[in-house]
Amino acid sequence: MADGHGGARIGAGRNKKSLNEKILNGNPGKRRLEVFTFDDGAADLKGAGMPKPREYLSARQRDGEPTIAAEIYASTWSWLQESRCAELIPIEIIERYAQAVARWVQCEQAVTEFGFLAKHPTTGAAIPTPYVNMSQIYMKQANNLWLFIYQIVKENCSTPLQGKTPQDDVMERLLGG
């Protein structure tokens, strides 16, 4: 269409089946599946360590406390390593996810500390605090990045995903205060 409103939408359509589902269903498409198999010699392999997080992930906030982005980065990396999918996710995506989650938690802490209302700078009238809007923006960014990471892991993992994910840890941290 000439006005740019037509065409396929991002994320539209049926989701891809995971590798595990394709294996269980007998590979109905008959395409070659890339399955990572490890023989008995795999126990002797030594994997590369976690790439060091960049400095901005552990920068100090205005109140002097370090952000939790480096912790989130480390927990996400270790989860990806356990899933054997760490090499499939670019480090920059993990860093962006960790930073977005850290900012979201920071905004939620500000809402808890300062409340939902703020004072307008010129009129002095009560207005909604900008931290609520910023929190929603960072939460949306973090969720989009997490869905991207999780989708890659789900599509490439030959066993069903079980246990806690880094996203679960973030929610516990936020609710725990």
What per-residue confidence (pLDDT) applies to 17? 75
Q: Which of 44-48, 71-75, 106-110, 164-168 has the lowest mean pLDDT?
A: 44-48
Q: Which of the four pLDDT bands, split at 50, 70 and 90, describes residue 170?
A: low
Per the rule left: phi > 0, alpha: psi between -120 and 50, beta: everything else, 30 is left
Q: What is the CA radius of gyration of the chain?
A: 21
Mean pLDDT of the chain: 80
Per-residue pLDDT tens over the stretch 13-57: 777 777 777 777 777 777 777 766 555 554 454 556 777 778 778
The better pLDDT of the pair 153, 164 is held by 153
- The per-residue pLDDT for 96 is 95
Is the pTM for the entire model greater than 0.75? Answer: no
- 126 SS3 class: strand
What SS3 string covers 113-164? HHCCEEECCCCCCEEECHHHHHHHHHHHHHHHHHHHHHHHHHHHCCCCCCCC
pLDDT digits (tens, 9 = 90+) for 68-99: 888 999 999 988 888 888 888 899 999 999 99
Long-range contacts of residues 84-87, Cβ cutoff 8 Å, at least 24 apart: 84/36, 84/157, 85/152, 85/153, 85/156, 85/157
Q: Over 70: is that where the pLDDT of 2 sits?
A: no
More confident residue, 105 or 82: 105
Indicate the domain borders of the chain.
19-25+51-176
pLDDT at 1 over 50: no
Q: Give the residue with greater pLDDT, 18 vs 121.
A: 121
The structure tokens listed for 53 are 């997080």
